[in-house]
Amino acid sequence: MRDRIADIIWDNCHDGENGQQLDVAADAIIAALPSMIAPLVFRDLNKNAGIYGAFTHGVAYRIKIPAPNRVSWSATDTGLPSWRSVNSEDEAKAAANAHHVAQIIGSFKGAE
Protein backbone atom coordinates (compact mmCIF):
# COMPACT_ATOMS: atom_id res chain seq x y z
CA MET A 1 0.00 0.00 0.00
CA ARG A 2 2.82 2.39 0.88
CA ASP A 3 4.38 2.00 -2.60
CA ARG A 4 1.02 2.64 -4.29
CA ILE A 5 0.51 5.82 -2.25
CA ALA A 6 4.06 6.98 -3.03
CA ASP A 7 3.40 6.38 -6.75
CA ILE A 8 0.20 8.44 -6.60
CA ILE A 9 1.99 11.34 -4.90
CA TRP A 10 4.86 11.17 -7.41
CA ASP A 11 2.48 11.05 -10.38
CA ASN A 12 0.62 14.13 -9.13
CA CYS A 13 3.28 16.26 -7.41
CA HIS A 14 6.74 15.43 -8.75
CA ASP A 15 7.06 18.73 -10.61
CA GLY A 16 7.46 20.58 -7.31
CA GLU A 17 4.12 22.38 -7.34
CA ASN A 18 2.03 22.55 -4.20
CA GLY A 19 -1.54 23.64 -3.57
CA GLN A 20 -3.89 22.32 -6.19
CA GLN A 21 -1.57 19.42 -7.12
CA LEU A 22 -1.67 18.19 -3.52
CA ASP A 23 -5.47 18.26 -3.62
CA VAL A 24 -5.37 16.20 -6.81
CA ALA A 25 -2.98 13.72 -5.16
CA ALA A 26 -5.20 13.42 -2.08
CA ASP A 27 -8.24 12.74 -4.28
CA ALA A 28 -6.28 10.13 -6.25
CA ILE A 29 -5.19 8.38 -3.04
CA ILE A 30 -8.76 8.27 -1.71
CA ALA A 31 -10.00 6.91 -5.05
CA ALA A 32 -7.31 4.19 -5.01
CA LEU A 33 -7.95 2.98 -1.45
CA PRO A 34 -10.75 0.49 -2.28
CA SER A 35 -8.49 -1.38 -4.71
CA MET A 36 -5.88 -1.79 -1.93
CA ILE A 37 -8.23 -3.73 0.37
CA ALA A 38 -7.57 -7.46 0.31
CA PRO A 39 -10.60 -9.52 -0.74
CA LEU A 40 -12.35 -11.83 1.69
CA VAL A 41 -11.16 -15.42 1.84
CA PHE A 42 -14.09 -17.83 2.08
CA ARG A 43 -13.67 -21.23 3.71
CA ASP A 44 -15.94 -24.27 3.89
CA LEU A 45 -18.11 -24.10 7.01
CA ASN A 46 -20.34 -27.00 6.03
CA LYS A 47 -19.60 -28.32 2.56
CA ASN A 48 -22.50 -30.79 2.63
CA ALA A 49 -24.92 -27.91 3.26
CA GLY A 50 -23.12 -25.58 0.83
CA ILE A 51 -22.21 -22.97 3.46
CA TYR A 52 -19.00 -20.95 3.22
CA GLY A 53 -17.75 -18.17 5.48
CA ALA A 54 -15.25 -15.34 5.85
CA PHE A 55 -14.63 -13.38 9.01
CA THR A 56 -13.02 -9.94 9.34
CA HIS A 57 -13.19 -6.87 11.57
CA GLY A 58 -16.03 -8.27 13.64
CA VAL A 59 -18.23 -9.08 10.64
CA ALA A 60 -19.04 -12.64 9.63
CA TYR A 61 -19.85 -13.09 5.93
CA ARG A 62 -21.59 -16.24 4.80
CA ILE A 63 -22.54 -17.70 1.45
CA LYS A 64 -25.23 -20.37 1.31
CA ILE A 65 -25.70 -22.63 -1.73
CA PRO A 66 -28.28 -25.24 -0.66
CA ALA A 67 -29.07 -26.18 -4.27
CA PRO A 68 -27.97 -25.19 -7.78
CA ASN A 69 -29.26 -21.74 -8.73
CA ARG A 70 -30.16 -20.97 -5.09
CA VAL A 71 -27.42 -18.72 -3.75
CA SER A 72 -27.57 -16.13 -0.99
CA TRP A 73 -25.11 -14.22 1.19
CA SER A 74 -25.23 -12.48 4.54
CA ALA A 75 -23.21 -10.19 6.79
CA THR A 76 -23.70 -10.16 10.55
CA ASP A 77 -23.52 -6.38 10.91
CA THR A 78 -26.62 -4.38 11.81
CA GLY A 79 -29.01 -2.78 9.39
CA LEU A 80 -29.00 -5.45 6.70
CA PRO A 81 -31.55 -8.21 6.09
CA SER A 82 -30.34 -11.66 7.09
CA TRP A 83 -29.84 -13.22 3.66
CA ARG A 84 -29.75 -11.58 0.23
CA SER A 85 -30.42 -13.75 -2.83
CA VAL A 86 -28.09 -13.55 -5.82
CA ASN A 87 -27.64 -15.50 -9.05
CA SER A 88 -24.29 -17.20 -8.46
CA GLU A 89 -21.50 -17.90 -6.00
CA ASP A 90 -19.31 -15.35 -7.81
CA GLU A 91 -22.04 -12.72 -7.46
CA ALA A 92 -22.36 -13.55 -3.75
CA LYS A 93 -18.59 -13.16 -3.26
CA ALA A 94 -18.60 -9.89 -5.19
CA ALA A 95 -21.48 -8.51 -3.10
CA ALA A 96 -19.84 -9.57 0.16
CA ASN A 97 -16.53 -8.02 -0.91
CA ALA A 98 -18.26 -4.79 -1.96
CA HIS A 99 -19.88 -4.62 1.47
CA HIS A 100 -16.52 -5.35 3.12
CA VAL A 101 -14.79 -2.55 1.16
CA ALA A 102 -17.63 -0.10 1.89
CA GLN A 103 -17.34 -0.85 5.63
CA ILE A 104 -13.60 -0.10 5.63
CA ILE A 105 -13.76 2.97 3.39
CA GLY A 106 -16.73 4.26 5.38
CA SER A 107 -14.53 4.49 8.44
CA PHE A 108 -12.48 7.20 6.69
CA LYS A 109 -15.45 9.44 5.89
CA GLY A 110 -15.59 11.07 9.33
CA ALA A 111 -12.14 12.61 8.88
CA GLU A 112 -13.17 14.93 6.03
pLDDT, tens only, 15-54: 655 556 677 777 888 888 898 899 999 998 887 788 898 8
pTM: 0.72
CB-neighbour burial class of residue 63 (10 A; exposed 0-12, middle 13-18, buried 19+): buried
Note whether 16 and 64 are same-domain residues: no
Strand partners, 67: 70
Are 30 and 80 members of one domain? no
How far from chain centre, in Å, is Cα 18? 32
Task: Give the β-pairing of 43-46 and 84-86.
Answer: unpaired
Residues 47 and 91 in one domain: yes
Q: How many domains does the chain have?
A: 2
Supply the pLDDT for residue 101: 92
Q: Are residues 12 and 64 in the same domain?
A: no
pLDDT tens, 43-63? 988 877 888 988 887 788 999
Quick one: 22 and 57 in the same domain? no
Cβ atoms of 62 and 49 closer than 8 Å? no
| Residue 55 lies in domain | 43-111
Same domain, 103 and 64: yes
